[in-house]
Amino acid sequence: MSDAESLLQEVSSYLKPKDVEHIRQALGFSDSAHHGQLRQSGEPYISHPIAVARILTPLHLDAPAIMAALLHDVVEDTHISNAEVAEKFGKPVAALVDGLSKLDRIEFETKEDAQAENFRKMLLAMARDVRVILIKLADRLHNMRTLHSMAREKIERIARETMEIYAPIANRLGLHEIYQELQDLSFMHLHPTRYAVLVKAIKVARGNRREVVGKIQDAIRQRLEEHHVIAQVQGREKHLYSIYEKMQSKSLAFSQVQDIYGFRVLVDNVAACYLALGALHGLYKPIPGKFKDYIAIPKGNGYQSLHTTLFGPYGTPIEVQIRTSEMHKIAEAGVASHWLYKTTHTPINDLHKQTHQWLQSLLESLSQSGDSIEFLEHLKVDLFPDEVYVFTPKGKILALPRGATAVDFAYSVHTDIGNRCVAAKVNFELVPLRAELRNGDRVEIITASNAKPNPAWLSYVVTSKARSQIRHFLKTMHFEESAQLGERLLKQALASLGVKPQDIEDAQWEKLIKDTTAKSRMEILADIGLGRRLNMVVARQLARMSDGNGHEHSNSGVITIQGTEGLAVQFAKCCRPIPGDPIIGIIKKGQGLVVHTHDCPTLRKGRGGTDEWLDVVWDKHINKPFDVSIKLIVANQLGVLAKVAAAIAEAESNIENVHFTNEGDYTTLYFTLQVGNRQHLAGVMRGLRGIPEVVRITRIKAAPA
């Protein structure tokens, strides 16, 4: 029987004749479209889509999904368009095919950009319809099974991508068998020698341990019968990559890995699970710390089971999983159990809710990521395999990735809680926001209405939701601040042309937006603030629209620096300006307005055209501390550092940083202080000069090395 006939026979076992006929038509269409094409192995190309469809039939996927599997490469690799697929087989099938098609016709700067954008598109389609990823996983599984004919470099790239992205997605969706096979195949292609050695060792161990495994299985059955627990007992072998992972993580030789074999106990109901657990703990002693209750607290992918490790005969550790038959169905098929088991049982409904929530969080990351590579980073973080379970103050359980912090918890509760969090209590004690959470922690977040995310949080949050929300907030804040600065810069430029900002009509702005292909007035103003557009150029464009001659006037506006502009205004590190210093500003692309002192050495070296330089002055009512650096040469005497610190504190200045170099009888001290203005700094320096041990004191413009 051919593969095509086998496929039609398999779908006939669970689909209606009308659906089977539609699949037969899709098969013929795909065969015709791929006619003459060969795979790298030399086989006719149609063998691949048929194999992908056959991987999906054990999951009992519906007719549109099987048809999309057969047609998934026709748009990408043949002359057929998606519109033709829609016309022939309907929009639902075409939507699935479109979600699976790569973006090969779009030019990208790098392979990484292309890969990231392909994932972005696929996962956006997946968020709308989970069948997209089920088909894609089947496609990747067949490609991994037939990877041998490709170049070594390509094999490694595809295998690494599978290990990092596709296998974890399969795990996240609860597709246990596909997940394990993808991991094993990736391991085989990435480390062929290690794989071969391990396969050989397992074959030998299988023969040596068969008798022991049989005895343990019989003992488990007998103990369960004695306790009147009706159960199926199955022996199972750990998959290859999980054995290798254990050897790597614990630096073990293969002979030291004892729990290659485990046992699965299937019972009728939840009560029987715990009864079976008690019976087995009476048969063999449990190993402390090796018990996990995934029934009371299911994994994020819906998996439920009791896990325990026992001291077996001959000192062999025995890993046992205890679950109901319903739990076993979900453990094997995951989210695909919706098609495989047409039931209304609660666990499957809960699983689909959890999957939907995860897909919605993906959509959120998609909408807030600045680019595809950033989104791919969020996705990899979100596919973290290990989880910790923590409690809210009301007793609700939240599952977070291992290594999650109080900030991750705050964002998982609600975006607003994350954006406004200022402190956290874990088990009723105050902890830093960066504190890692552990299983069973009770976490409470303290918020403040005026609080906002700190960019430093990005260095320790691990969830994609926290990372994307923090970045989104910072970008929005930067955009708004830049737009405010851009508006002030534009007003200055318009004033120099003798045009009043209020005289610029909406129609003029609309024409400018259209001419510059900007999305809005705010975008143009933000671009001015970030240095992507010159204020004088935009002012001239608006002025020309106003009077038609672009006549310029000599009166010029001046930008007032208030110190509260945030990210839109930066104070140059090369000269560290403080209020009272004569200053000048430069617009730097992507950075906004950078303020320098008039006598800045960098300014003297690099000053260019006049359009990019702006006259700026300090606001008279600035009430904000500024960093300034000073250098002191002091005599080496006992207590001199304490005297200097006391004098700085007495002058109401904070010490941000201090370091020193010792030169025999004298020491050079470098301080970074916080002062309000030049007068405040003069007061600090006056106080320091009054210390007898201070030989010399100077302000240094550049940050200390």
Q: What is the pLDDT of residue 245?
A: 84
Q: Please give the model's pTM, rounded to 2 decimal places.
A: 0.57
Q: What is the pLDDT of residues 610-643, one digit of tens each?
A: 446 777 888 888 888 888 999 999 998 888 888 9
Place of tokens 């977040």: 445
pLDDT at 113 over 70: no
What's the rounded mean pLDDT across residues 650-672?
Answer: 87
Q: What is the pLDDT of residue 240?
A: 87
Beta bridge partners of 125: none
Q: What is the pLDDT of residue 22?
A: 93
- Residue 367, number of CB atoms within 10 A of its CB: 11
Computed over every residue of the chain, the mean pLDDT equals: 81
pLDDT at 555 over 50: no
76 part of the active site = yes
pLDDT at 109 over 80: no
pLDDT at 114 over 80: no
Catalytic pick from 76, 377, 480, 612?
76
HEC secondary structure over 277-338: HHHHHHHCCECCCCCEECCCCCCCCCCCCEEEEEECHHHCEEEEEEEEHHHHHHHHHHHHHH
Q: What is the rounded distance in angstroms from the CA atom of residue 70 to the CA atom of residue 54?
A: 10
Q: What sign does the CA torsion over 527, 528, 531, 534 have?
A: positive
pLDDT at 27 over 60: yes
Domains and CATH numbers, the chain: 3-190 (1.10.3210.10), 202-342 (3.30.460.10), 386-462 (3.10.20.30), 477-618 (no CATH), 626-700 (3.30.70.260)
What's the rounded mean pLDDT across residues 522-550?
Answer: 71
What's the rounded mean pLDDT across residues 95-111?
Answer: 62
What's the rounded mean pLDDT across residues 204-232?
Answer: 84
Q: What is the rounded distance in angstroms from the CA atom of residue 157 to the CA atom of residue 153?
A: 6
Q: What is the pLDDT of residue 159?
A: 92
Percent of the chain with pLDDT strictly greater than 70: 80
pLDDT at 548 over 60: no
Q: What is the pLDDT of residues 395-437, one digit of tens each?
A: 887 878 888 999 999 998 998 999 999 999 999 899 999 899 9
Going by pLDDT thresholds of 50, 70 and 90, the confidence category of residue 211 is confident
Strand pairing class (306-311; 317-324):
antiparallel
Q: What is the pLDDT of residues 445-480, one digit of tens each?
A: 999 888 888 878 888 888 878 888 887 787 777 777
The secondary structure of 599-658 as a DSSP string is T-HHHHHH---GGGEEEEEE-TT----EEEEEEEEEE--TTHHHHHHHHHHHTT-EEEEE
| pLDDT, greater one: 638 or 344 | 638
Q: What is the pLDDT of residues 53-93, one digit of tens each?
A: 999 998 888 899 999 999 999 988 888 888 899 999 999 99
77 part of the active site = yes
Q: What is the pLDDT of residue 234?
A: 86
What's the rounded mean pLDDT across residues 673-691?
Answer: 92
Q: What is the pLDDT of residue 439?
A: 80
Q: What is the rounded distance in angstroms from the CA atom of residue 427 to the CA atom of residue 304?
A: 27
Q: What is the pLDDT of residue 117?
A: 64
Percent of the chain with pLDDT strictly greater than 90: 27
Catalytic pick from 31, 62, 77, 374?
77
pLDDT at 24 over 70: yes
